[in-house]
């Protein structure tokens, strides 16, 4: 398996609506394996195709609570509740900011073989599914913050670049 380069804020691929997955073949399976390797190497809990420079509507995830997998052409078909929790992103390395998300979600999509999948999730897994589905639509968690919080993230990001800091080991981004 290969570790892929993670694209960071400023790379236009992160802002594109990714293309739907139509071919569920060996190439997709290998890419999925490489993305899992890359996610684990970066201590992340999720990684979407645009984050490794690929315009594809799919992602991998591992919440380290027993839920790990692959989801293509994901749609959130039900959401409930609201919760504020620190969130980070491997493509915005360093800062974390309290981000409002649905407490629970129902996600539908396809597995790596193209078979239909439905995931009912709450807590961290629900947050990951929302964060990664956003990535496939060109949306980043900072888009959910108010202007002041977003400025704070950008400030921390610039300071982190000066220090050469990497991701906060206390919280796993995605």
6 near Zn ion, rule: CB under 5 A: no
C-beta of residue 39 within 8 angstroms of C-beta of residue 59: no
| CA neighbor of 112 nearest in space, from 20, 2, 24 | 24
Interface characters, 76-95, with Zn ion (x: CB under 5 A): -------------x------
| CA neighbor of 88 nearest in space, from 7, 2, 168 | 168
**In the bound complex, what is the minimum distance in angstroms from residue 90's beta carbon to Zn ion?**
6
129 near Zn ion, rule: CB under 5 A: no
157 near Zn ion, rule: CB under 5 A: no
Among the residues of 77-146, which ranges form H helices? 123-135
Of 73 and 174, nearer to Zn ion (C-beta) is 174
**In the bound complex, what is the minimum distance in angstroms from residue 156's beta carbon to Zn ion?**
16
User: Which listed residue (22, 132, 156, 159) is catalytic?
Assistant: 132
52 near Zn ion, rule: CB under 5 A: no
**In the bound complex, what is the minimum distance in angstroms from residue 115's beta carbon to Zn ion?**
26
**In the bound complex, what is the minimum distance in angstroms from residue 84's beta carbon to Zn ion?**
18
How far out from the chain centre does Cα 47 lie? Answer: 5
Of 91 and 110, nearer to Zn ion (C-beta) is 91
Of 143 and 161, nearer to Zn ion (C-beta) is 143
C-beta of residue 138 within 8 angstroms of C-beta of residue 17: yes
φ and ψ at residue 13, rounded to 5 degrees: -60, -25
User: Shortest Cβ contact with Zn ion: which residue?
Assistant: 89
Identify whether 87 is a catalytic site residue.
Answer: no
Name the region of 171 (left: φ>0; alpha: ψ -120 to 50; beta: rest): beta
Pairing type for strands 116-122 and 104-110 reads antiparallel
Any idea which residues carry the catalytic annotation? 132
Q: Where on the chain is the footprint of Zn ion (CB under 5 A)?
A: 89, 174
């Amino acid at each position: 398996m290969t570790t892929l380069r993670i694209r960071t804020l400023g790379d236009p691929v992160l802002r594109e609506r990714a293309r739907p997955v139509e071919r569920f073949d060996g190439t997709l399976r290998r890419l999925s394996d490489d993305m899992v390797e890359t996610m684990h190497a970066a201590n992340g809990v999720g990684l979407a195709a645009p984050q490794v420079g690929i315009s594809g509507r799919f992602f991998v995830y591992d919440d380290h609570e027993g839920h790990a997998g692959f989801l293509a052409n994901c749609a959130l078909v039900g959401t409930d509740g609201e919760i504020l929790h620190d969130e980070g992103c491997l493509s915005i390395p360093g800062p974390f900011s309290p981000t409002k998300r649905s407490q629970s979600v129902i996600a539908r999509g396809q597995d790596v073989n193209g078979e239909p999948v439905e995931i009912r999730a709450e807590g961290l897994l629900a947050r990951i599914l929302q964060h990664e589905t956003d990535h496939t639509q060109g949306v980043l968690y900072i888009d959910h913050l108010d202007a002041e919080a977003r400025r704070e993230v950008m400030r921390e990001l610039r300071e982190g670049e000066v220090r050469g800091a990497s991701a906060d080991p206390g919280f796993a981004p995605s």
